[in-house]
Amino acid sequence: MGMRRNGQLTAYLYFLHENRNQQVVRMIGKILGWFRKIFGKRKDLNLGIYGSPNVGKTTLANRICVDLTGESMGTVSPIPHETRKVQKKENMTLKFRGFRLMMNLLDMPGIAVKVDYRDFLEHGLSREDAQKRAREATRGVVDAVKSMDKVDAALFIIDATEDPYTQVNITIIGNIEARNIPVIVVANKIDLPNANTKRVRDAFPNYDFVELSAMTGENLEQLYSHIADKLS
Amino acid sequence: MHKCVRCGRAAASLEEIDSGCPCGSKAFVFGRYEPDLAGGNGKAEGSPQQYNAHISFASEDVENIKVLSEGVFVLNVKGLSRDPMVLKDEDGIYYVKIPFEQRMDGNKPEGNGKMKGEGAKKKE
């Protein structure tokens, strides 16, 4: 009889012990959940740089990268479609007049509706290399278009020395707008004598607008101010 | 196309299926066979077989439409459903049709590029 009672007590204590363990496990799970809620929601912002080829996207990306991290991002070249893959620089911190923003910078390949390998032949590339570059550039265009679904904000770069009323420009801004992505229109290359920023501003009057030179760094502070204003 | 089950000859017309094969059989089976456009050798100039030998989409191909010659196209349907339309012409030049995303709510874009609800806050 005594042994039976003893056995029941052992089973009861074992039950309590098991129950306690489950409670502890549940409590730890809850605490981890709180931590996840507090810290897990922190999502870095993806800032995409879009535009036609050779408008200065990588030059600007390099400038921003050097300013914020001290390192450059990609290579620039007078040959169109130098950037043929989406370049990503992660965990950059923009600190501007008390504003602090963690972001990933995405330098997109230039978007074009036609990629002709013969254009590269003029820059001294062999036929084979030119055809390879054309194929990679086209893939880059596809990647850039598809990545519009992944960015949280966009810089839309336009060469201020060129006509802004192009099919590509209108389509890019239309796609960004349709996705409700906050966008800043950037008229680049103001260091060049034939730059016409008024024409760019008139072409896209309803957007935040910055004119700058990615090459010299002129007006870059203004861009940071717009980013801070737009994304704060 | 319909082929005679006895002699394997492809039916040239619906009337032939109705009246029967010249071999006497009236039974035909339907299947995806290559059309016999050149008297049975399948190598007729301009026929689909002429292109079949070198039509394929390699993994490195970015195009989903190839132009083989004027008026002759090959489509990569799987690629078209996944990516924007990319056409490669017979000269090796690529053309990309950038899809224009429409707003699903049918509203005209406001043109401020702000995040959702941000404009409404400002108006207050």
More confident position, B58 or A176: A176
Confidence (pLDDT) at A98: 79
Check CB contact under 8 Å for A116 and B94. Answer: yes
Task: Check if B120 contacts A (Cβ < 8 Å).
Answer: no
Q: CA A171, CA B99: separation in Å to the nearest integer?
A: 8
The answer to ipTM > 0.95 is no
Check CB contact under 8 Å for B100 and A171. Answer: yes
Residues of A in contact with B95 (CB under 8 A): 113-114
pLDDT at B105 over 70: no
Q: What is the pLDDT of residues B4-57, one digit of tens each?
A: 777 878 888 878 888 888 888 888 777 765 554 444 444 445 555 555 555 677
Residue of B nearest to A171 (CA): B100
Q: Which B positions 52-71 lie with beta carbon below 8 A of chain A?
A: 60-63
Confidence (pLDDT) at B119: 37
- Ranges of H-type helices in chain A: 2-35, 57-69, 117-121, 127-146, 167-178, 197-203, 220-231
- Spatial contact of A145 and B123, defined as CB atoms under 8 Å apart: no
Please list the residues that pair with A95 across neighbouring strands. A100
Mean pLDDT, chain A cut into blocks of 10 residues (232 residues total): 60 64 76 62 80 94 92 85 90 83 92 93 92 93 92 96 94 91 96 96 94 95 90 74
DSSP A39: I
DSSP B102: P
Q: CA A112, CA A110: separation in Å to the nearest integer?
A: 6
Q: CA A74, CA A88: separation in Å to the nearest integer?
A: 10
Burial A200-232 (b: 16+ CB within 10 A, else e): bbebbeebbbbbbbbbeeebbeebbebbbebbe
For the record, the structure tokens of A90 come out as 């992660």
Size of interface A-B (CB pairs under 8 A): 87
Domain extent listing, chain B? 53-111
Task: Check if A113 contacts B (Cβ < 8 Å).
Answer: yes
Parallel/antiparallel/unpaired status of strands B94-97 and A114-115: antiparallel
For the record, the structure tokens of B19 come out as 């009246």
Task: Check if B78 contacts A (Cβ < 8 Å).
Answer: no
Q: CA A53, CA A169: separation in Å to the nearest integer?
A: 11
Please list the residues that pair with B96 across neighbouring strands. B86
For domain A45-231, which architecture applies? 3-Layer(aba) Sandwich (3.40)
pLDDT at B68 over 90: no
* Whole-Å CA distances, A80 to A119, A144, A214, B38, B60: 8, 15, 17, 47, 21
Q: CA A35, CA A44: separation in Å to the nearest integer?
A: 18
The position carrying tokens 């401020």 is B112
Check CB contact under 8 Å for A115 and B60. Answer: no
Residues of B in contact with A116 (CB under 8 A): 93-94
Confidence (pLDDT) at A27: 79
Q: CA B85, CA B97: separation in Å to the nearest integer?
A: 5
Residues of B in contact with A115 (CB under 8 A): 93-94, 96
In this complex, the residue of A131, A179, A206 whose CB is nearest that of residue B101 is: A179
Position B46: which residue type? G
Confidence (pLDDT) at B108: 44
* Whole-Å CA distances, B67 to A44, A139, B90: 43, 18, 6
Check CB contact under 8 Å for A207 and B92. Answer: no
Task: Check if A176 contacts B (Cβ < 8 Å).
Answer: yes
Residue B94: its H or E element: strand B94-97
Among residues A176, A229, A206, the alpha carbon closest in space to that of B118 is found at A229
